[in-house]
Structure formats: C-alpha cells, structure tokens
C-alpha cells in the first residue's frame, strides 16, 4: 500500500528584544543561572506583568510578511499546567484571539514543485525556564533566566507533504524573520525550534490519519531526519496491523530515532482563560500600514531580483538571498564594479567556507567588500589566476591589505612576458616530445597537460591567456 504523509509544523521563534516579554529583565544569553530574574518572571504572588511593546510589533511584522490578517485587539490567555520550570503554574500565551491568523507561505521543492503552506496562526507567548539535571547528584536544578523570554509560535496548516518541504519551510521562516530583523535566528541558542506533527494516510484517501508530534527540533537537519524517521516508523506500524496512537515524541539525535514522551489524551487539558492581569493588545490600522510599507525586501523577492538583475541561477540566488548580511555584502561588492557571477562564487564559496570553518560571522571577517571586489576584478581581467586569487584571499583574511598591496609584497605579480614564457614553453616541449607527437596526431586535449606544466614551472604566476596562446602557436607550428 502507498502512503502519503501529512505534516503540520509548530515553530517557536525567539524574538530579538533586549528585555523579557512581561518584565524588564535582560534576555542576555549565557548568564549565571537565575541572574536575569525578578518577581514577575519568578512568578511571585502579587507581581504583575506589563507587556513589552516590541513583542506585538514584531509579531505584526512577521504576520504581514506571512500574508496574515493582523488582529487589532488580540488577547493573552493563561495556559494552565504544572512543571518545575514554570513557577506560576501557567504560561501566558494566546488562545482564541491570537495576534495573526490565516496567512500563507509559498515554498518550492524538486519533488512537488511550488506549494502554498497555510499559516493557521501566529501567537505571542513567554518561554519557560530550563531544568538542569545534575550528573553527580540526583538533583534537578531550575534556571529561570529564560522564563519570560518572548516567543512567537507560528502554527502551519497540515499542508506539508514531505520531510524536504518541512525543512525548506523552516529555513524560509528563519530567513524571513532574520531579514525583517525580529529574531537573531541563532539556532545554537535555540532561537528557532520546531514541533513536527506527522501522520500517514493511504494515497488517495481524504481523511487524515492519527498524528504524532515530535517536539523541540532545533535544527533544519533534525526536522528532516525526525520526520523521515517518523514516516518510516508509522508505515511499519500500520503494515504490522497496529494503530498509531496520538502522542508526543522526542528526537534522539545520537541514535537518530524518535521515542515516546507522553500520550496526548491526558496531557491536553490546559483550561485556557483570558489573563485578567493583561488588557487587550491594541494595534492601530495606521501602525499596521506603516509596517506594511516599511517591510524590507523579503528573501523571495530578493531571489527573483538577483536572478533578473544579475543573471544568477536559481540556486545561487537562493543561497545568497536567505541571509540579510550575506545578500547585503554581495550587493556591496557589486557596487564596486565586480561581476555578479564571480562575486557570487566567492561569496558562497570561499567566504562561506571560512565562516563555517571559523564559526565567525561576516562582520568578524576582515575582508571588506571593496577588497573582494578588487580581487574578482583582477580575476576577470585575467591578471591573476584562480590559484593566486586564493592565496591572496587567505592573506586578506589576516590583514586589511588590498589585493594590489599583497601582490606587490608577495611577488605574486603575473608573468605575461611572452619572451620569458615562450622560453619556458620551448623547454617544456623539448622535454616532452612524446606528448607533442600525440598532440600533433590529433590528441588536442593534451593542451591541458602542457598548461598545467607551465603553471607549475611559473608557480601559478604565468598568465593563462598568454600561455595558451604561446603553446598553441608552438604546437601547431
């Protein structure tokens, strides 16, 4: 029997505010436990929450970017449950009047082409604290620094149809949120976490099957792996004649399996009710229109523009447009007159490699757009080979020197002197008579061999255009 997966995603996005959602405690990461706390986020009796105005404003901006209807008067509600990292025994969230609803996001995959994923809702809520299970004693410790950090929960319709689509959807939400600047999107700090709801149904059937929810997937790779695993697991269960039970599961990244955490039936009674401590959150139509007008260029639009204006491939345009920093850097290089294709290759090639290997962000890397533009111009005009360019690039990483300066200093200047190169070519041909014969007998691919040898002799400094011309002249003489 053929099965079709049905997937809906709930994404938690941490907002880039300096203070928490309902108090003025700092949201700074990495502080000693419980330093960023006060009576409000500790849940002490009598302490009252006051909403951080950035939070609904950020939520509205994301809602606009995701084609949602933004509610002018949304409401906070208490979601009641007990957990040691939730001192109030309720989480302030939103329930039946969330700030945004009924949006959509278009994605594209190789397997299904273009598809539109409905966004059911976006609501604001506070994060819980963190439990630390001590290894050397049997104690569990509570750190409430994270309690009250603002989150948006973005709930999708069950419109996703593959693990690949889920990953792309999550990447796109990340790209949009970081482009509009409402989240730092730092995956290592858990700024973006996804709960994946997965069910299977026989192909052609309309009704959905029973779903499981795998919680807290904090990387794009885990989302894809966990959904793939869950699809296989459910398929095996069904083929074995068993029924899928609705449950919450967790992903074990080491064993690469999902495992059951709790069954859903008993866990779901939150007794939501409007939070009496907080008034309705009002946004004016005027401010929403201002947000709409001032929304920065979104990754999708940027991608299309890069393809049209700069003639980039879909792949290149996609890679460049997902990050605000990288796309701005790229355009900065172009403003110094670099050719788009070569500039793109260096940005998504060498530059990205260095960022990945060193863990540095773009602004921590010393290479200025102007210097990188100079480098690409030298390559384009044929003044330096790609190999020399890489040497210069490495050097630029460690100093603020211009390519011209480095060429001068390191003696990397290209040899274009036909007399000098011609002499080297003569010697090379004399020493490789056999290959010369073969070339003349029609095996012209051997030109590559001769060019390679010439480059070796000149330690990469020979001008490839001149070398090619000289070799052809001599071989075809």
Picking from 332, 345, 339, the residue whose alpha carbon sits closest to that of residue 386 is 345
Beta-carbon count within 10 A of 375 CB? 29
DSSP 34-79: T-S--HHHHT-TT------THHHHHHHHHHHHTTPEEPSEE--EEE
Taking a C-beta distance cutoff of 8 angstroms, is the pair 158, 120 a contact? no
Q: What tokens were used for 208?
A: 């959905």
Cα–Cα dist 431/412, whole Å? 27
- 418-431 and 433-440 helices, crossing angle to 10°: 100
Picking from 236, 227, 253, 184, the residue whose alpha carbon sits closest to that of residue 8 is 227
**C-alpha atoms less than 13 angstroms from C-alpha of 250 in its C-beta half-sphere:** 6
Beta carbon nearer to ligand ADP, 44 or 267 = 267
From 34-42, 97-105, 129-137, 297-305, span contacting Zn ion (CB under 5 A): 34-42
Measured torsion, CA atoms of residues 450, 452, 455, 459, in degrees rounded to the nearest 10: -130
Smallest gap, in angstroms, from Cβ of residue 26 to Zn ion?
9
**C-alpha atoms less than 13 angstroms from C-alpha of 177 in its C-beta half-sphere:** 27
Among Zn ion, ligand ADP, none, the one that 199 touches (CB under a kind-dependent 5 to 8 A) is ligand ADP
Taking a C-beta distance cutoff of 8 angstroms, is the pair 320, 330 a contact? yes
Under rule CB under 5 A, residue 41 binds Zn ion: yes
Residues, the chain, total? 477
Among 71, 146, 193, 211, binds ligand ADP (CB under 6 A): 211
Among Zn ion, ligand ADP, none, the one that 414 touches (CB under a kind-dependent 5 to 8 A) is none
Query: What 3-state DSSP class applies to 315?
Result: helix
Beta carbon nearer to Zn ion, 38 or 447 = 38
Among 23, 55, 119, 415, binds Zn ion (CB under 5 A): 23
Total interface residues for Zn ion by CB under 5 A: 5
- Which contiguous run of DSSP H or E holds residue 451? helix 447-457
From 150-158, 234-242, 307-315, 357-365, span contacting ligand ADP (CB under 6 A): 150-158
Taking a C-beta distance cutoff of 8 angstroms, is the pair 27, 19 a contact? yes
Under rule CB under 6 A, residue 463 binds ligand ADP: no
Among 38, 250, 436, 447, binds Zn ion (CB under 5 A): 38
Cα–Cα dist 378/173, whole Å? 38
Among ligand ADP, Zn ion, none, the one that 23 touches (CB under a kind-dependent 5 to 8 A) is Zn ion
Among Zn ion, ligand ADP, none, the one that 38 touches (CB under a kind-dependent 5 to 8 A) is Zn ion
Smallest gap, in angstroms, from Cβ of residue 74 to Zn ion?
22
Cα–Cα dist 218/258, whole Å? 14
Query: What 3-state DSSP class applies to 473?
Result: helix
Smallest gap, in angstroms, from Cβ of residue 266 to ligand ADP?
13
Cα–Cα dist 392/382, whole Å? 15
Beta carbon nearer to ligand ADP, 212 or 453 = 212
Among Zn ion, ligand ADP, none, the one that 340 touches (CB under a kind-dependent 5 to 8 A) is none
Among ligand ADP, Zn ion, none, the one that 5 touches (CB under a kind-dependent 5 to 8 A) is none
* Residue whose beta carbon is closest to ligand ADP: 8
Among 4, 85, 108, 157, binds ligand ADP (CB under 6 A): 157
Cα–Cα dist 157/53, whole Å? 28
Taking CB under 6 A as the criterion, which residues in 186-205 touch ligand ADP? Answer: 197-199
Q: Per-residue x/- mask for Zn ion, residues 434 to 463, rule CB under 5 A?
A: ------------------------------
Smallest gap, in angstroms, from Cβ of residue 9 to ligand ADP?
6
Under rule CB under 6 A, residue 156 binds ligand ADP: yes
Under rule CB under 6 A, residue 10 binds ligand ADP: yes
Smallest gap, in angstroms, from Cβ of residue 270 to ligand ADP?
9
Beta carbon nearer to ligand ADP, 123 or 302 = 123
Among ligand ADP, Zn ion, none, the one that 41 touches (CB under a kind-dependent 5 to 8 A) is Zn ion
Among ligand ADP, Zn ion, none, the one that 462 touches (CB under a kind-dependent 5 to 8 A) is none
Smallest gap, in angstroms, from Cβ of residue 265 to ligand ADP?
11
Burial of 282 (0-12, 13-18, 19+ CB in 10 A): exposed
Beta carbon nearer to Zn ion, 51 or 436 = 51
Q: Are strands 73-74 and 100-109 parallel, antiparallel or unpaired?
A: unpaired
Taking a C-beta distance cutoff of 8 angstroms, is the pair 59, 101 a contact? no
Total interface residues for ligand ADP by CB under 6 A: 14
Judged by the rule CB under 6 A, the positions of this chain that interact with ligand ADP are 6-10, 155-158, 197-199, 208, 211
Judged by the rule CB under 5 A, the positions of this chain that interact with Zn ion are 23, 25, 38, 40-41
């Amino acid at each position: 029997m053929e099965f079709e997966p049905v997937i809906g995603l709930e994404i938690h996005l941490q907002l880039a505010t300096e203070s928490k959602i309902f108090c003025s405690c700092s949201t700074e990461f990495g502080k000693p436990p419980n330093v960023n706390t006060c009576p409000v986020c500790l849940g002490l009796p009598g302490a009252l929450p006051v909403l951080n105005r950035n939070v609904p404003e950020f939520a509205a901006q994301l809602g606009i970017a995701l084609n949602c209807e933004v509610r002018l008067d949304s409401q906070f509600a208490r979601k009641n449950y007990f957990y040691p990292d939730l001192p109030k025994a309720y989480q302030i969230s939103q329930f039946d009047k969330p700030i945004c609803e009924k949006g959509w996001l278009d994605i594209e995959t190789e397997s299904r082409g273009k598809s539109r994923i409905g966004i059911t809702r976006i609501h604001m809520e506070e994060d819980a604290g963190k439990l630390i299970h001590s290894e050397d004693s049997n104690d569990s410790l509570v750190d409430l620094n994270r309690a009250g950090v603002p989150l948006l929960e973005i709930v999708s319709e069950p419109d996703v149809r593959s693990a690949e689509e889920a990953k792309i959807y999550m990447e796109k939400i990340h790209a949009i949120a970081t482009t509009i600047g409402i989240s730092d999107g730092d995956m290592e700090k858990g700024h973006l976490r996804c709960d994946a709801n997965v069910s299977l149904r026989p192909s052609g059937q309309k009704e959905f099957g029973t779903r499981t929810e795998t919680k807290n997937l904090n990387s794009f790779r885990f989302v894809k792996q966990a959904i793939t695993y869950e699809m296989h697991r459910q398929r095996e269960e069904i083929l074995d004649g068993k029924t899928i039970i609705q449950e919450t599961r967790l992903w074990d990244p080491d064993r690469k399996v999902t495992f059951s955490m709790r069954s859903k039936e008993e866990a779901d009674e939150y007794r939501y009710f409007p939070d009496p401590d907080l008034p309705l959150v009002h946004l004016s139509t005027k401010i929403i229109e201002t947000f709409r007008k001032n929304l920065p260029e979104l990754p999708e639009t940027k991608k299309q523009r890069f393809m049209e204006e700069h003639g980039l491939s879909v792949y290149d345009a996609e890679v460049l447009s997902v990050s605000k920093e990288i796309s701005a850097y790229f355009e900065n290089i172009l403003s110094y007159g670099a050719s788009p294709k070569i500039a793109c290759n260096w940005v998504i090639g060498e530059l990205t490699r260095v960022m990945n290997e060193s863990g540095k962000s773009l602004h921590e890397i010393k290479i200025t757009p102007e210097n990188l533009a100079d480098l690409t111009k030298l390559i384009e005009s044929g003044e330096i080979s790609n190999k020399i360019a890489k040497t210069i690039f490495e050097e630029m990483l460690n100093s603020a020197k211009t390519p011209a300066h480095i060429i001068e200093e390191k003696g990397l200047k290209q040899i274009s002197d036909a007399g000098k190169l011609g002499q080297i070519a003569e010697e090379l041909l004399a020493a490789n008579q056999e290959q010369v014969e073969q070339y003349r007998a029609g095996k012209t691919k051997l030109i590559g061999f001769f060019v390679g040898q010439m480059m070796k002799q000149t330690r990469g400094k020979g001008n490839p255009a001149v070398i090619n011309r000289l070799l052809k002249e001599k071989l075809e003489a």
